[in-house]
Amino acid sequence: MNARGNGSGNGPAPNGSTGAPVIRMRDVHKAFGPKKVLQGIDLDVGERESVVIIGGSGTGKSVTLKCILGLLEPDKGSIKVDGEEVVGLTGQARDRINAKFGMLFQGAALFDSLSIWENVAFGLIQGRGMGRAEAKKVAIEKMGMVGLGKHVADLFPAEMSVGMQKRAGLARAIAADPEIVFFDEPTTGLDPIMADVINELIVHVVKDVGCSALTITHDMASARKIANRVAMLYEGRIIWAGPVDQIDRSGNEYLDQFIHGRPEGPIQLQVRAL
Amino acid sequence: MNFVALIGRAFLGFLATAGRLVLFALAGVSHIFRPPYYYRLIWRQMVDIGYYSLPVVGLTGLFAGMVLALQSYTGFARFSAEGAVATVVVLSMTRELGPVLAGLMVAGRIGASIAAEIGTMRVTEQIDALTTLATNPFKYLVAPRLFAGITMLPILVLVADIIGIFGGYVVSVYKLEFNAPNYLKRSWEFLEVIDVVSGLVKASVFGFLVTLMGCYQGYNSKRGAQGVGAATTNAVVASSILILIFNYIITELFFSK
């Protein structure tokens, strides 16, 4: 596993990104009891760059994202957003950082008790104190950007398909014009056509809206479509990172096994007999 | 593992849980007093807890008062003390049965509903979504429910007291053939302000306990449908037990000599 641990401390970007990173993670560790999930993550996300973290289940992808979002506190290491250390931030200081973020959750995580437009406008009304009438206008505009018509504005999440819920979740993620958008398994559970629609929307968010994006996924088709750079996570470390067009000739046997979905190789599935 | 170690581990586990619950309660209560205030959410919770619990609390109070009149009459008749029925009904309703029965009914209705709602929000990542949208889940989810529980339970108990006393009156006058003006006179004769106030204080504490346990169990719900189910059960069981324990403590504080 000689590709592991490619960078640590405050040195140069470990994964080949250029320019000042909007997110910089260095030597981030996180354990849950005896289980060490993150064992020294180093990762940069540059401005207007789309980075995709790939890796098998249980390798720490979601935990990485939650550490950046402040939903989990790392045990050790540094996470900087726009050069500001965010580990240990709480209260209003954390809210100020989170106001730079948008997040599309795996299951969209729309609020059941609110209509679609209220979901999309939530961050504007609660976070920024915008009036409801003005927030509704912005929400409907953002819904239009992800292909949701005005007629669905007053529906509730339970009245919509999974694909439409994901679109609404994406509209909510970009509603407050975030600097960085996070995508957690954005195409999981979608049919191939809807998955491609969501991928297109993510590309649109990065290219046209001008956000940086950090996505975690197992879906290689999605990764190839939306990534500028790919980072492979294995056993709590980034074992390979580089431009998306180099993943097929990386020379990394772990990455090769993963992207081709081969059961044989250095990655051993941890299957335990019941 | 030996028996002493087992007891020690259980005791430490209990202390850790109690500590987490107290910290959760302090965080929730502190957000009641700190802006921003979500008036719309607070109002919605007050309507849900107060208004929609009226039928179940009213019916409970009515039948409790009626049974109390019947039972105390048959008991007191054995030593010719039937005249005390009115006083027993009014004191029992205001001091004990009103707050305890209303608290237990609300624990079943509201405690379960809060735990299920917040638990579902936990497992579907809606609580994480709140945080990423720069909204404090304690302020948005917990504080409005605690406030509504603390303020609405006394109103519900007051209604239950009145309906329960009315139930006792109906049974006493129309079934047991008490003289109506005399019954009313005996009802008010020995009733003191402290009897009603102690019941309302209990109600407020019970409202806090029910909403707190619903929020705590839901917020810490484990993954999946089973986790939400367990959170709901735990919320109802824990709040019911706490109601009975605090009922004794508050009674002791108000009336012990």
- Residue B104's closest CA among B155, B53, B142? B53
The strands making up A229-234's β-sheet, listed across from edge to edge, are A101-104, A180-184, A212-217, A50-54, A229-234, A237-243
**CA A139 to CA B134: how far, in whole Å?**
17
Provide the pLDDT confidence category of residue A274 given band limits of 50, 70 and 90: very low
CA A71 to chain B, closest CA, distance in angstroms equals: 7
Among B132, B140, B219, B223, the residue to mutate for chain A (most A Cβ within 10 A): B132
Q: What is the pLDDT of residues B29-38, one digit of tens each?
A: 999 999 888 8
Residues in chain B closer than 8 A to A67 (CB atoms)? none
In this complex, do A107 and B124 lie within 8 Å of one another by their Cβ atoms?
A: yes
pLDDT score, position B1 = 64
Determine contact, residues A259/A32, Cβ cutoff 8 Å: no
**CA A238 to CA A222: how far, in whole Å?**
19
Determine contact, residues B122/B85, Cβ cutoff 8 Å: no
Mean pLDDT along residues B42-50:
96
Q: What is the pLDDT of residues A62-93, one digit of tens each?
A: 999 999 999 999 999 999 999 999 999 988 88
**CA A223 to CA A195: how far, in whole Å?**
11
Report DSSP state, residue B24: H
Taking chain A, what is the end-to-end CA distance rounded to the nearest angstrom? 29
Residue in A98, A106, A182 closest to B134 by CB: A98
Determine contact, residues A42/A87, Cβ cutoff 8 Å: no
Average pLDDT for chain A: 86
pLDDT score, position B26 = 96
Q: Which residue of chain B has the CA closest to A102?
A: B132
Tokens standing for A112? 């059941």
- Tell me, yes or no, if A183 comes closer than 8 A to chain B by beta carbon: no
Average pLDDT for chain B: 94
For chain A, what's the residue count?
274
The rounded percent of chain B whose pLDDT value lies above 70 is: 99
Phi, psi angle pair for B18, to nearest 5°: -60, -40
- Tell me, yes or no, if B133 comes closer than 8 A to chain A by beta carbon: yes
Instruction: Return the domain boundaries, chain A.
Output: 1-100+218-274
Q: What is the pLDDT of residues B5-41, one digit of tens each?
A: 999 999 999 999 999 999 999 999 999 999 888 899 9
**CA B24 to CA B46: how far, in whole Å?**
21
**Residue A8: pLDDT over 60:** no
Amino acid letter, residue A162 = V
Amino acid letter, residue A223 = A
Instruction: For residue A48, give the H/E element and its range.
Output: none
pLDDT score, position A58 = 82
- Strand A180-184 with A101-104, pairing: parallel
Residue in A103, A109, A182 closest to B124 by CB: A109
Residues in chain A closer than 8 A to B124 (CB atoms)? 107, 109
Mean pLDDT along residues B149-169:
96
Q: Quote ipTM for the complex.
A: 0.83
**CA A254 to CA A3: how far, in whole Å?**
9
Long-range contacts of B233-242 (CB under 8 A, 24+ apart): B234/B115, B235/B107, B235/B111, B235/B112, B235/B114, B235/B115, B236/B107, B236/B108, B236/B111, B236/B112, B236/B115, B238/B213, B239/B107, B239/B111, B239/B209, B239/B210, B239/B212, B239/B213, B239/B214, B240/B104, B240/B107, B240/B108, B242/B209, B242/B213
- Strand A84-85 with A35-46, pairing: unpaired
Please provide the DSSP assignment of A176-208 as one string: T--SEEEEESTTTT--HHHHHHHHHHHHHIIII
Mean pLDDT along residues B94-112:
95
Provide the pLDDT confidence category of residue A187 given band limits of 50, 70 and 90: confident
Among A104, A106, A114, A122, the residue to mutate for chain B (most B Cβ within 10 A): A122
pLDDT score, position A253 = 87
**CA B232 to CA B239: how far, in whole Å?**
11
pLDDT score, position A197 = 84
Please provide the DSSP assignment of A63-117 as one string: HHHHHHHTSS--SEEEEEETTEE-TT--HHHHHHHHTTEEEE-TT----TTS-HH
**CA A220 to CA A203: how far, in whole Å?**
15
Residues in chain B closer than 8 A to A127 (CB atoms)? 133-135
Q: Is the peptide bond before B36 cis (omega within 30 degrees of 0)?
A: yes
For B34-97, where are the alpha helices, taking DSSP H only? 39-46, 54-76, 85-92
In this complex, do A71 and B140 lie within 8 Å of one another by their Cβ atoms?
A: no
Check: CATH 3.40.50.300 for A1-100+218-274?
yes
Q: Which residues pair with A36 in a beta bridge?
A: A31
**CA B220 to CA B227: how far, in whole Å?**
9
Among B133, B140, B222, the residue to mutate for chain A (most A Cβ within 10 A): B133
Mean pLDDT along residues B108-137:
93
- Tell me, yes or no, if B134 comes closer than 8 A to chain A by beta carbon: yes
pLDDT score, position A265 = 79
